[in-house]
């Protein structure tokens, strides 16, 4: 039987250089000769939510013998290019799930690989300006210390906390102590509130660079769902909390302008119809709006904007545009709000 030997491609330079160069050549030759080769999507830049195709090898990362972690929730990704960057917090998409890098092996190692964890939920929240954000996250399996605190006259008080992981980017940097989130479904939302010291955003990838952290770890305790201020339709905590006090005619109270759906992006070739309403204490109120594109740098050939009626409009994403958001001014007699939309690519 004749055997094929892989030829040495380098004959100059240091032994280290020769070994590294030949190893890369070997990967180029044989990387895809495997049953565990897959084409997945990888986020181009941190926080962009823009994904491109990449061919990788995916293997198991956790032993199923212990039963502590599900093998389908942890995978090892191996890259063909030994210089490929796979740092903590990097996101991938495959098998109908987002995945986040929780362990990486890139420093002073010959092969480029990382361990990713499946994101099993989504963080949803609004900031003080009622701008909606969302980010895939991985919630650990167990609710820790789930006990009831029972007083002589008080009702049962729930206790327990969870640990979750998410990419640390321009959106999740806004997560702080007392941030609230809803998980579950419309039949039974479960609320969690971050501990005062439960936000870990300082796992620097470079010791002295405080902007190099890319992985966010959060500890959150069980909280109560507040149907007056939480959006129990879309699962957004505190959506109606930061109200503005208005006095308009006979209506005196705390009002807010709510735009549904809450997603602030449209995928390429997609469209969305948005509905704007006034709310008072979580109850819908009458009122009309004038909708206009305001101060946006997005070229007009990238989108189509149509007003449907006094409370709704439609946006079509004709072609992605990542350099600026599309700003829609929703102007009414009792207040205005700007909706910032991202015209994303197909992913």
At residue 118, does pLDDT exceed 90? yes
DSSP assignment of 278-335: EEETTEEE---EEEEE-S--S-GGGEEEEEEETTEEEEEESS-EEEEEEEEEEEETTE
Cα dihedral 237/247/260/264 (nearest 10): -80
State which of 118, 149, 167 marks the end of a domain.
Answer: 118
Which of 118, 140, 156 is a domain's end point? 118
For 245, the enclosing helix (H) or strand (E) is strand 244-248
* Per-residue model confidence (pLDDT) at position 120: 96
Structural domain span for residue 94: 31-118
pLDDT band, very low/low/confident/very high, at 24 (cuts 50, 70, 90): low
Instruction: Give the global pTM.
Output: 0.71
Average pLDDT over residues 106-124: 85
Give the separation between CA 64 and CA 59, rounded to whole angstroms. Answer: 13
Per-residue pLDDT band at 286 (split at 50, 70, 90): confident
Q: Report yes or no on 139 lying in a domain.
A: yes
In this structure, is the dihedral angle defined by the CA atoms of residues 341, 342, 344 and 347, taken in order, positive or negative? negative
pLDDT at residue 223, rounded to an integer: 92
111 and 132, same domain (yes or no): no
- Average the pLDDT over 330-337 and give the result: 79
User: Which SS3 state, helix, strand or coil, does residue 40 take?
Assistant: strand
Give yes or no: residues 88 and 171 share one domain: no
Q: Report the pLDDT value the prediction gives residue 245, as an integer from 0 to 100.
A: 45
Please check the confidence at residue 331 and state whether its pLDDT lies above 90: no
The residue with greater pLDDT, 255 or 265, is: 265
Q: Residue 202's pLDDT band (boundaries 50, 70, 90)?
A: very high
Q: How many domains does the chain have?
A: 3
Q: Is residue 316 part of a domain?
A: yes
Q: Does residue 5 lie within any of the structural domains?
A: no
What pLDDT does residue 198 have? 92
Query: How far is it, in rounded angstroms, from Cα 256 to Cα 326?
Result: 22
- Residue 264 confidence (pLDDT): 85
- Is residue 309 included in any domain, yes or no? yes
Reported as half-sphere exposure (CB side, CA atoms, 13 A), residue 300 has a value of 5
Give the mean model confidence (pLDDT) for residues 325-343. Answer: 84
Given 98, 118, 138, the domain boundary residue is 118
Are residue 112 and residue 136 in the same domain, yes or no?
no
Q: Is the per-residue pLDDT at 27 higher than 80?
A: no
CATH at residue 321: 2.60.40.1080
Per-residue pLDDT tens over the stretch 206-250:
999 998 999 999 999 999 898 878 888 889 998 877 544 444 444
Same domain membership, residue 144 and residue 206: yes
Residue 23 lies in a domain: no
Per-residue model confidence (pLDDT) at position 335: 73
Residue 306 lies in a domain: yes
């Amino acid at each position: 039987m004749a055997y094929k030997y892989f030829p040495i491609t380098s004959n100059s330079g240091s032994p280290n250089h020769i070994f590294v160069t030949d190893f890369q050549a070997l990967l180029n030759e044989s990387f895809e000769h495997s049953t565990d080769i897959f084409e997945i999507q990888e986020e181009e830049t941190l926080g962009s939510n823009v994904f491109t195709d990449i061919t990788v090898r995916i293997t198991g990362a956790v032993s199923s013998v212990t039963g502590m972690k599900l093998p389908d929730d942890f995978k090892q990704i191996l890259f063909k290019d030994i210089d490929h960057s796979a740092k903590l917090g990097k996101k991938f998409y495959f098998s109908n799930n987002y995945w986040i890098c929780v362990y990486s092996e890139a420093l002073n190692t010959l092969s480029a690989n990382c361990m990713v964890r499946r994101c099993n939920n989504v963080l949803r929240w609004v900031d003080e300006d009622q701008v909606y954000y969302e980010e895939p996250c991985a919630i650990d399996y167990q609710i820790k210390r789930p006990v009831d605190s029972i007083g002589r006259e008080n009702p049962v008080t729930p206790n327990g906390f969870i640990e979750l992981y998410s990419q640390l980017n321009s959106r999740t940097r806004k997560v702080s102590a007392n941030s609230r989130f809803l998980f579950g479904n419309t039949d039974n939302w479960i609320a969690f509130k971050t501990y005062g010291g439960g936000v870990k955003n300082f796992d620097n990838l470079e010791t002295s660079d405080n902007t190099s952290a890319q992985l966010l770890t959060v500890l959150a305790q069980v909280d109560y769902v507040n149907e007056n201020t939480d959006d129990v339709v879309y699962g957004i905590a505190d959506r109606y909390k930061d109200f503005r006090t208005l006095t308009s005619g006979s209506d005196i109270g705390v009002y807010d302008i709510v735009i549904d759906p809450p997603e602030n992006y449209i995928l390429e070739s997609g469209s969305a119809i948005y509905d704007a309403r006034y709310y008072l204490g979580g109850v819908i109120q009458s009122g009309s709006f004038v909708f206009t594109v305001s101060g946006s740098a997005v070229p007009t050939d990238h989108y189509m904007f149509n007003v449907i009626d006094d409370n709704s409009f439609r946006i079509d994403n004709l072609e992605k545009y990542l350099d600026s958001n599309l700003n829609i001014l929703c102007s009414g007699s009792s207040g205005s709000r700007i909706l910032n939309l991202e015209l994303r690519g197909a992913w």
